């Protein structure tokens, strides 16, 4: 039996500190706002190397709030990759704008910058590159396009805490960045949590207001906002976990390198690590014999998942757009061939070898 993810491995060494912190906060009845939230915001801003980080309720809200804060809404278009978790396009629609899908690159599976310009219209306001599976999107050409056409760039970093693009931390390259701290992400809370990073003070101030009912201070509402706060408990837990993030990412990279070696001559397409540091939120292989691998892993009780079975344009919620496979040929092939195999900090060498052998034997 090998689980797809085992979060308990991360928690064992820091469990006592987390338990003590939770007890302290219950004793203090400190549940909303306060020092814990302010500290985590500062710590994560420092970790990234941005001037402002604002925690919020989850990663989906962080995209939506940043779009609204940049003044994007009804009648606007936002370019998003054809392959991501639905949050990326959902947030665009939620602010009243229209997601415009662009196909992915065939090797690194993030948005293909060479296909972006043909999708730009006078209504286009922003691009949301997603650092999918922990692999950095190709930011240089994306930033060049954004400058040429006057577009904002919001990096969706939900799967890539600590990844680097050419020695730059992801989340510091675009105008702003969104993060999720969903439990299974590279840095995860004990529930839902997210946040927004930027060097733009004005944008940071507006985003913070929107997430806090439009308040500049208590009972001073300069706009209508919403409630999207980072919980005190989650902030405190994230502060304890953040110093471990680089080591956890290194463990993911170590396991990935072992998979790459063990699966080198297997009949599967392996992930590449282009442009910098891939932090392997997921280790995604591709095969046109996926069902054979799934069957073999199932028999051996080895966990697996598909991220994601349907590319964004082909989801039921976009049926009225009538997209066809020819519109996004790479995303379409991708959805049929991908398989995520066990990957988490603390996965052992024996486990990686066992999974690799199972895959090789299946083919
Ligand atoms: C997880 C994820 C999100 C959203 O995060 P939540 O905290 O679950 O709302 C956004 N984008 C991508 C690519 C994700 O993987």
pLDDT tens figures, 239-287: 999 999 999 999 999 999 999 999 999 999 999 999 999 999 999 999 9
Tokens of 18: 């987390």
Q: What is the pLDDT of residues 48-76, one digit of tens each?
A: 999 999 999 999 999 999 999 999 999 99
Chain Cα centroid distance, residue 286: 20
Nearest-angstrom CA–CA distance, 216 and 226: 13
Angle at 336 between CA 332 and CA 133, to 5 degrees: 85
User: What's the whole-number mean pLDDT along residues 98-117?
Assistant: 98
The reported pLDDT for the residue numbered 60 is 98
Q: How confident is the model at residue 292 (pLDDT cuts 50, 70, 90)?
A: very high
The reported pLDDT for the residue numbered 148 is 98
Provide the sign of the torsion angle of the four alpha carbons 234, 239, 241, 246, taken in this order: positive
Q: Is 81 in the pocket of ligand 1 (CB under 6 A)?
A: no
* DSSP-H helix ranges across 214-319: 232-241, 245-262, 290-299
Angle between helices 349-362 and 290-299 (to 10 degrees): 130
Strand 194-198 to 215-217 pairing: unpaired
Nearest Cα residue to 110 out of 350, 326, 278: 278
- Closest ligand 1 atom to 132 CA: 13
Nearest-angstrom CA–CA distance, 230 and 333: 38
User: What's the whole-number mean pLDDT along residues 172-185?
Assistant: 98
- Closest ligand 1 atom to 88 CA: 11
Q: Which of 5, 55, 60 to mutate to test the pocket of ligand 1 (most atoms within 8 A of CB)?
A: 60
Q: Is 162 in the pocket of ligand 1 (CB under 6 A)?
A: no
Q: Is 194 in the pocket of ligand 1 (CB under 6 A)?
A: yes
- Closest ligand 1 atom to 194 CA: 7
Element (H, E) at 65: helix 59-69
Tokens of 95: 């602010």
- Closest ligand 1 atom to 61 CA: 9
Q: Is 262 in the pocket of ligand 1 (CB under 6 A)?
A: no
Tokens of 92: 């665009």
The reported pLDDT for the residue numbered 75 is 97
Q: How confident is the model at residue 327 (pLDDT cuts 50, 70, 90)?
A: very high
Q: How confident is the model at residue 35 (pLDDT cuts 50, 70, 90)?
A: very high
Tokens of 124: 């286009």
Distance 196 CA to ligand 1 centre (A): 12
Which residues partner with 195 through β-bridges? 55, 179
The reported pLDDT for the residue numbered 347 is 97
Q: For the chain, what percent of residues have pLDDT higher than 90? A: 99
Nearest-angstrom CA–CA distance, 102 and 226: 30
The reported pLDDT for the residue numbered 158 is 98
The reported pLDDT for the residue numbered 201 is 98
Tokens of 217: 């201070």
Number of Cβ within a 10 Å radius of residue 218: 8
Q: How confident is the model at residue 118 (pLDDT cuts 50, 70, 90)?
A: very high
Q: How confident is the model at residue 227 (pLDDT cuts 50, 70, 90)?
A: very high
Whole-model pTM: value is 0.98
Distance 342 CA to ligand 1 centre (A): 19
Q: Is 134 in the pocket of ligand 1 (CB under 6 A)?
A: no
Average pLDDT of the chain, as a whole number: 97
């Amino acid at each position: 039996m090998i689980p797809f993810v085992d979060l308990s491995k991360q928690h064992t060494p820091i469990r006592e500190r987390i338990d003590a912190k939770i007890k302290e906060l219950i004793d203090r009845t400190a549940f909303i706002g306060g020092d814990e939230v302010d500290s985590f915001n500062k710590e994560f801003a420092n970790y990234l190397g941005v001037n402002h980080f604002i925690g919020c309720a989850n990663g989906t809200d962080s995209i939506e709030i940043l779009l609204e804060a940049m003044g994007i809404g009804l009648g606007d278009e936002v370019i998003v990759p054809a392959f991501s978790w639905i949050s990326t396009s959902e947030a665009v629609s939620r602010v009243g704008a229209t997601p415009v899908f662009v196909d992915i690159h065939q090797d690194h599976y993030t948005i293909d910058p060479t296909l972006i310009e043909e999708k730009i219209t006078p209504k286009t306001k922003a691009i949301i590159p997603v650092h999918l599976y922990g692999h950095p999107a190709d930011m240089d050409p994306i930033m060049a396009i954004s400058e040429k056409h006057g577009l904002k760039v919001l990096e969706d970093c939900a799967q890539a805490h600590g990844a680097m693009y050419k020695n730059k931390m992801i989340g510091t390259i675009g105008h702003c960045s969104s993060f999720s701290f969903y439990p299974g992400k590279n840095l995860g809370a004990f529930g839902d949590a997210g946040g927004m990073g930027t060097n733009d003070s004005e944008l940071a101030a507006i985003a913070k207001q929107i997430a806090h009912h439009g308040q500049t201070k208590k009972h001073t509402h300069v706009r209508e906002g919403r409630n999207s706060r980072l919980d005190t408990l989650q902030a405190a837990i994230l502060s304890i976990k953040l110093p471990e993030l680089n080591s956890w990412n290194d463990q993911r990279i170590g396991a990935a390198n072992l998979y790459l070696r063990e699966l080198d001559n297997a009949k599967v397409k392996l992930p590449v690590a282009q442009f910098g540091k891939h932090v392997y939120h997921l280790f995604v292989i591709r095969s046109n014999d996926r069902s054979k691998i799934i069957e073999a892993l199932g028999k051996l009780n080895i966990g697996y998942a598909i991220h994601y079975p349907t590319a964004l344009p082909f989801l039921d919620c976009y049926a009225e757009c009538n997209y066809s496979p020819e519109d996004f040929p790479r995303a379409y092939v991708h959805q049929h061939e991908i398989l995520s195999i066990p990957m988490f900090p603390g996965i052992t060498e024996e486990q990686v070898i066992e999974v690799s052998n199972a895959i090789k034997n299946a083919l």
